[in-house]
Amino acid sequence: MINKDFFQKAVTALESDPRPAGYYGITGIYLAEKEKLVDGCGTAEVEGYNTPRQCLEGFLKCRSVVTSPSCIWRRDIFNKHGGASLDQIFPNLGPQLDFYQNHVMATTYGMCYEKAPFACQRIYEARSNYSSNLHLWDTAGRYAEIEKGLRAVGQTYPEMEADFFRWRAFWMADTIKKSGVKL
């Protein structure tokens, strides 16, 4: 944690608005090999409450990412969406488990976002994308599971099919790039 007010801000936001599944902000990315902050992640369409549609559309267009280190969830919602049975959903999703959890809950209930750094995550250059260490077909299968879960929420909007296509292409290209596979 890098912001001493994170928990208080989260509790205040969630007590004042019953709609969002949780509250989140920016996570700094600290590269262990270089011992320095190199990036940050955690974005949303707007500050404050983002509707379920805003969360889905923003996620599929790579403009909205809910990051686990800077996120507080409502326990009942987290448990309802697999948090109480992680051992049952982990085999299907592996390293993408939190990616799935975060965005299914966001696209179901919406999220409260504050554009402020709350936490820092240490990464290692050689393992910056855990999916890249898997077989590419395994990764594709896990992204398909994420898509299946997002579609089950029932949110729709006019450009959704084209956005899902670009979303799949973006994440598989990212995985291939980080895997070192030459095409």
pLDDT band at residue 67 under the 50/70/90 scheme: confident
**Domain hosting residue 155, numbered range:** 6-173
Q: What is the pLDDT of residues 136-181, one digit of tens each?
A: 788 888 888 889 989 999 999 999 999 999 999 998 888 787 776 6
Round to whole Å and give the CA distance between 5 and 74: 18
Residue 181 within any structural domain of the chain: no
Residue 179 within any structural domain of the chain: no
Structure tokens at 72: 């507080």
Q: What is the pLDDT of residues 30-62, one digit of tens each?
A: 787 888 777 778 889 999 999 999 999 999 998
**Global confidence as pTM:** 0.84
Q: Domain total for the chain?
A: 1
**pLDDT score for 141:** 84
CATH of the domain at 91: 3.90.550.10
